[in-house]
Structure 1
Amino acid sequence: MLPETVAAAFPLPDQAQWRSAVDKVLKGADFEKRLVSQSADGIRIAPLYPAAHAKTRPFRSEAGRWHVAARLDHPSPVSARDLALADLEGGADTLVLSFAGALAARGYGLVAEDVAALGAALDGVMLDLIRLRLDPAPAGERNAGLIAELIARRDLDPAKVGVDFGLDPIGVLASHGALPATWPELGRSLATLIDELRGRGFSGPFLTVDTRPYHEAGASEAQELGAAMATAIAYLRALEAGGMALDLARDAISFTLVADTDEFMTVAKFRAARLLWERVQQACGLEAKPMALHAETAWRSLTRRDPYVNQLRATIAGFSAGVGGADSLTVLPFTAALGLPDAFARRVARNTQLILLEEANLWRVADPAAGAGGFEALTQALCEQGWSKLQDLEREAADGLPGMVAALANGHVQQGLARQRALRAKAIATRREPITGTSEFPHLGEGVVEVLAVAPMAGGSEAAAAETCLVAEALPSLRLAEDFEALRDAAEAAAVQLGKRPTAFLATLGSIADFTARAGFARNLFEAGGLAAPGHDGFPGTADTDLAVLVAAFEASGARLACLCGSDAGYASEAVAAAQALRAKGATVWLAGRPGDLEGALNQAGVSAFIFAGCDVIETLRSAHAIAAA
């Protein structure tokens, strides 16, 4: 520590001094537009925050390391066992049982219709030394019964076996669109089942508030938090109506939240979730306990193209979940969007957590974000927004249905998510929200990634019971990269048909220094849709560009689409002539950049479209496909 006399010589700058220095760098540019962004919920995200001192802190339910969870989701019990044992031997201490029919099984999932099959899947697993979690599924009550019976047959003390039974009928309604009983009947059934399991010695949790269906349907952070709290309140009321004491009902509930690739918002979301749950408990007249919080990295952020980038996404999401205070964490393997992950992909997912735990030592601080102005401000903003979303859902209660259930049944949730999904789709299409390896820096020469040779099940799962009493429009499960991936698939299909990859010819004007920036932009854009856009050193002539050589190169490329790339000055002097020359050879001519005052002349010369930062890349690429593959 510096002596006081030395420290005094370096006084800390205040906010005004910092802002003055920033304004000098901006040189008149708008501070809000250049340095301030907004979250999906409209929360202002500033570049600098003062230190903060929160009144309450969102502590975890237990101190120490978070639990490393691995998925047990292979349809074959024997194969599932082999993969699970490798995970446990490699450092995992929790197994997530994703039975066939669960949303999280992604069309795969463990097929175990009886205790014998489940026993085969867990053969060699010492259940009293690990934890088990069940993914919510339409057959959730049956799955819970199978686990309880297996533990009884192994003569284990249920009190010493940690099981989160994963019952989530509201989540199943959201993901599958149907429930087999009326809400009052479901509430009574849940209360009875939980009492039975407690009577056998299990401590729970028994119900899981799972926000994955909402996140995969496009939910913002506040929408996810609002759905979580509204669902938990519905369960509290149902169990209390079934005769269960409110504190026992509270203890029966755990939460599963999604850790996404926005580090700041994910950390703030997890911290806000804990604070919101404390407030809900206090409103119920309970002495608040920390929530049991499981995290899973985001399905919607995974890509099928350049899937190795998914490892970076998983690291950011896992880091954020750890800092945010998750009690346990599942990192989705980087090949999960391509099929059932093999042992290598599972090991990478597992080791991602182990490195964060053992080398980064994230678990050693109870709340690493405490006092950081940015995190505290975002946490508080999400608490306010999440509470507002909760109140919005609660107002939908009608005809004996709690707010969350009624909001799913009447389409209120679906409509809100659709609006949010459309906003995000626009941000993806215009690349304001870039996807590395997909919409930005695509890799057309990517190699084949291995997954297990297991086909998804026909229909994807066990459906909800045939006799349906409560229905809702099932929420879609979407990944952000799907539109770009469809374009890449279409380009490769066209390559098979044409004998070569569809190509966009980059008609560069002037020197390398003149065209490099826009040629790089155009190549990145076209390759995001799977089109080849080979580069070259340009076509220098006695003046600026040898148009005869440029046209000859276009004809030799076999392309149908030519994109002019150059500087503003080059466009003013050469673009019209170049467009006319290319049009004369049958090219559809585009230009990289905004046309400005030249638009009329360029259109008259044959330039039919302009590509620039902020344009709708998806629609632009669809048009490029129609031209290049014609």
Structure 2
Amino acid sequence: MSEKRIFSEFPPISKDEWEERIKEDLKGADYEKKLVWKTIDGFSVQPYYMSQDVGDAAPANHPGEPPFVRGYNSKGNDWKVIQQINSEKIKEANEFAINAIERGADGVSFKLCFSDKQEDVSNLLKNIDLSKKQIHFHSNHSYSVLAELICNEAKKRNYNAADLAGSFNFDSFGYYLLHGEYYNSHEDNMNELKCLIQNFGKRLPNYKLLNINGQHFANAGASVTQELGFAMASAHEYLTEMLSLNLPLEEILPKIRFTFSIGPSYFLEIAKFRAARHLWATIVEQYTKDINLQKTTIHGISSLYNKTLYDLYNNMLRNTTEAMSASIGGADEITILPHDFLLGNETEFGDRIARNTQLLLKEESHFGKVADPAAGSYYIEMLTQKVADFAWKQFQTIEENGGFRKAMESGLIKAEIEKTNAKREKDIAMRKMVYVGINNYPNTKEHFENPDSFLSKKQTEGNALQMKRGASNFENIRLQTDSFVKAGSKRPAVLLCQFGNLAMRNARAIFATNFFGIAGYEINSIVNDNSVEEGVKEIVKEKPGIIVLCSSDEEYTTLGIEYLKALKQTNIPVVIAGNPGENETLFRENGAHSFIHVRTLALDALEDYQKVLSVK
């Protein structure tokens, strides 16, 4: 059957026809509110795109060609699976690393803060083939000293240092963002970086010596385009600093590596990794037409902002979609942190699940076999263009304000991120942005044995970014409850009193269970189809800290009022599940303490209930 005959049976459908069909299905609902996604960056994303919408957004080039939106490889994307080793005990860190490598990791990343002795480095790298596996160091007090020790170790074990691959997490701007100050002075840091590149750039040709930590912005609550734009500005600042110190361009550029957070917004994250290559190539093109120098190494690491302490296994699901985003987006290296990373104790199980998440994508789903699998998706091509455009505006704003260093030291970077994070926190507080197990659908049977060690610490001062997880405000409420119980108090109890309309009382009881379960309270329920007097007797017998009436709007104005009057003498706060509307004054006059419904600012309400119950 000819192609012409096949397609004659499927005539093209115009955008106007699609729009008419959509409006028909919406049955009068607002198109913009129902279907158009408003990102936190301020741009709108349509529910679908057609070829005429995309225009020049879809790159005409092939994978491996500048500006590298479609990746650096012409065939496939065999990214490196990196396992982060967080133990600071040399023997234990070595054991974790060997286990990871034997079970499929292409490289490991150590937190080496403990020593500058050759013996310690030898023990850390014992039984690891340095010529076949990447060795990264994400923390160290002196990378110049460490580089020398690695070269010595390679020589001692008869390796050619040129065969070694990995990276150092040198990022003095990143240090400033975390601590509000440089670990020496800015000038000393720049001279250290210059020496590191001069002394080890050629001795360790396959080591990346400068890492741009875009993840810090994201983990403080920045948007996708802020993370991308600020990271580009940071890298550009380093580039101009090194050029001013008379380092040649061809010695600087190959030593740069970007580390981006992999956040929860699946399609936006795919677009971010694609846009990152484009933006960096655009910047470098102003300095050189050598397309090989316009490439860089992009490392993705799972976000901490969206991870949770409660319902830890949900973090596995989050990690899975994040690994997919980074691989589809064309990351060169990916680190998936264990689902239990926040607990602070590295476990073999957590490491294995994190590692296998990537291995399944590579070995069973064959994600690494295709170069730029997102190509041709009008939706992702448009997202990539919009992310690139908005990130470029962020970059230009920083440059117009004197460059990254000045923007960072003046507090501009922190202020812009805090504005974005405030929007995020408002959406989380109102449960528009859902964290399963935290601000919705809690596991009410889960409790922490040592809650005090996980309560959020005080705010950072100065220009240091506040590293904060989106779930932390809600988690703090629940941790306070667990701490209250651990100190010897009885767990606060909420009693749901269901009466009247069966469908409405059940729906509102489910809502109330969900709402108060977020705070870690004990939830009990009674169903009373008899007299109000009998219902009140049963309620008093339970001795709850809070009473929640669950029924229909109509019955609240009749039976509900009777319950409120009868319960006044108990001095127990009575909450009505549902929006009171114009009857709020009536209910309050008869003893209603408060109301819970979908428009309730859940975070503020639960903080108030903590005070009512004397939970501190």
Task: State the TM-score, normalized to the length of structure 2.
Answer: 0.91
Partner of 2:431: 431
Aligned counterparts of 1:377 and 1:487: Cα–Cα separation in 2: 40
Partner of 2:79: 66
Is 1:85 aligned to 2:90, yes or no?
A: no
Show the 5 A alignment for 1:88-487.
88-100=101-113, 111-288=114-291, 289-397=294-402, 403-446=403-446, 473-487=463-477
Partner of 2:580: 595
Deviation at 1:508, TM superposition (A): 2.0
Show the 5 A alignment for 1:6-45.
7-45=7-45
Deviation at 1:180, TM superposition (A): 4.2
Asked whether the equivalents of residues 508 and 551 of structure 2 are also in contact (C-alpha less than 8 Å), the reply is: yes
Asked whether the equivalents of residues 559 and 628 of structure 1 are also in contact (C-alpha less than 8 Å), the reply is: no
Deviations 1:69-118 (A, max 9, x none): 01122111001111111111110011112233xxxxxxxxxx23322112
Aligned counterparts of 1:613 and 1:141: Cα–Cα separation in 2: 56
Deviation at 1:260, TM superposition (A): 1.0
Deviates more, 1:136-145 or 1:72-81: 136-145
Deviations 1:385-424 (A, max 9, x none): 1111111111232xxxxx1111111111111111112111
Secondary structure at the aligned position of 1:91 is classed as coil
Secondary structure at the aligned position of 1:173 is classed as helix
Asked whether the equivalents of residues 497 and 525 of structure 2 are also in contact (C-alpha less than 8 Å), the reply is: no
Asked whether the equivalents of residues 138 and 172 of structure 1 are also in contact (C-alpha less than 8 Å), the reply is: no
Deviation at 1:185, TM superposition (A): 4.2
| 1:621 alignment partner, one of 582, 585, 606 | 606
Partner of 1:54: 59
Deviation at 1:449, TM superposition (A): 10
Deviates more, 1:187-196 or 1:336-345: 187-196
Asked whether the equivalents of residues 211 and 257 of structure 1 are also in contact (C-alpha less than 8 Å), the reply is: yes
Secondary structure at the aligned position of 1:95 is classed as strand
Partner of 2:523: 533
Asked whether the equivalents of residues 60 and 290 of structure 1 are also in contact (C-alpha less than 8 Å), the reply is: no
Where do 5+ consecutive residues of structure 2 fail to align? 62-67
Structure 1 residues 153, 477: closer, same or farther in 2, change over 3 A? Answer: farther
Aligned counterparts of 1:493 and 1:175: Cα–Cα separation in 2: 29
Aligned counterparts of 1:617 and 1:285: Cα–Cα separation in 2: 54
**Residue type of the partner of 2:568?**
R
Where do 5+ consecutive residues of structure 1 fail to align? 101-110, 398-402, 460-470
Structure 1 residues 581, 332: closer, same or farther in 2, change over 3 A? Answer: same
> CA RMSD for the aligned pairs?
2.4
Asked whether the equivalents of residues 442 and 514 of structure 2 are also in contact (C-alpha less than 8 Å), the reply is: yes
Deviations 1:358-381 (A, max 9, x none): 111111111111121221111111
Asked whether the equivalents of residues 163 and 204 of structure 1 are also in contact (C-alpha less than 8 Å), the reply is: yes
Structure 1 residues 97, 497: closer, same or farther in 2, change over 3 A? Answer: closer
Secondary structure at the aligned position of 2:131 is classed as helix
**Residue type of the partner of 1:13?**
I
Structure 1 residues 360, 433: closer, same or farther in 2, change over 3 A? Answer: same
**Residue type of the partner of 1:162?**
A
Structure 1 residues 519, 197: closer, same or farther in 2, change over 3 A? Answer: same
Asked whether the equivalents of residues 147 and 200 of structure 2 are also in contact (C-alpha less than 8 Å), the reply is: no
Asked whether the equivalents of residues 136 and 171 of structure 1 are also in contact (C-alpha less than 8 Å), the reply is: no
Secondary structure at the aligned position of 2:169 is classed as coil
Deviations 1:168-227 (A, max 9, x none): 111111112222444344333322221110342533321111112211111111110111
Aligned counterparts of 1:8 and 1:549: Cα–Cα separation in 2: 73
Structure 1 residues 440, 137: closer, same or farther in 2, change over 3 A? Answer: farther
Secondary structure at the aligned position of 2:260 is classed as strand
Partner of 1:400: none
Aligned counterparts of 2:506 and 2:264: Cα–Cα separation in 1: 31
Task: State the TM-score, normalized to the length of structure 1.
Answer: 0.89
Secondary structure at the aligned position of 1:47 is classed as coil
Asked whether the equivalents of residues 500 and 529 of structure 2 are also in contact (C-alpha less than 8 Å), the reply is: yes
Secondary structure at the aligned position of 1:163 is classed as strand
**Residue type of the partner of 1:143?**
L
Deviation at 1:330, TM superposition (A): 0.6
**Residue type of the partner of 1:256?**
T
Structure 1 residues 127, 591: closer, same or farther in 2, change over 3 A? Answer: same
Secondary structure at the aligned position of 2:583 is classed as helix
Deviations 1:238-296 (A, max 9, x none): 22122222233211211110101110111111111111111111122333333211110
Aligned counterparts of 1:301 and 1:570: Cα–Cα separation in 2: 41
Partner of 2:557: 572
Structure 1 residues 136, 377: closer, same or farther in 2, change over 3 A? Answer: farther
Partner of 1:550: 535
Task: Give the length in aligned residue pairs.
Answer: 593
Deviation at 1:503, TM superposition (A): 1.4
Partner of 2:65: none
Deviates more, 1:518-527 or 1:581-590: 581-590
